[in-house]
Amino acid sequence: MLTYIIYFFVTIILLFVLSLAFKAINRGMQAKNNPEEKTDDQDNDKSNIVDEIDKLNKLKDKGLLNQEEFDKIKKRLLDK
């Protein structure tokens, strides 16, 4: 009886893992078939970086960041 319960749980776990794999494969195939969606994400990333650098510049202008801190954070953002 205990063996059947263990087989049942193993089967449920296996089905769950297979469903995750199937979803991942589908997402990969959709991403491969729609490359223009990737460029939209890249444009959003670039605009986010520009926004972050603008915020950093405002903090530097207010005197909350010195030039060295500003340069370090800006370099880290641009290296992403």
Q: What is the pLDDT of residue 78?
A: 86
Summarised one tens digit per residue, pLDDT across range 65-74 is 899 999 999 8
Helix or strand run (H / E) with residue 6:
helix 2-33
pTM above 0.85, yes or no: no
Q: What percent of the chain has pLDDT over 70?
A: 88
Summarised one tens digit per residue, pLDDT across range 8-22 is 999 999 999 999 999
pLDDT above 70: residue 32: yes
Q: Give the Cα separation of 58 and 61 in Å (integer).
A: 5
Report DSSP state, residue 65: S
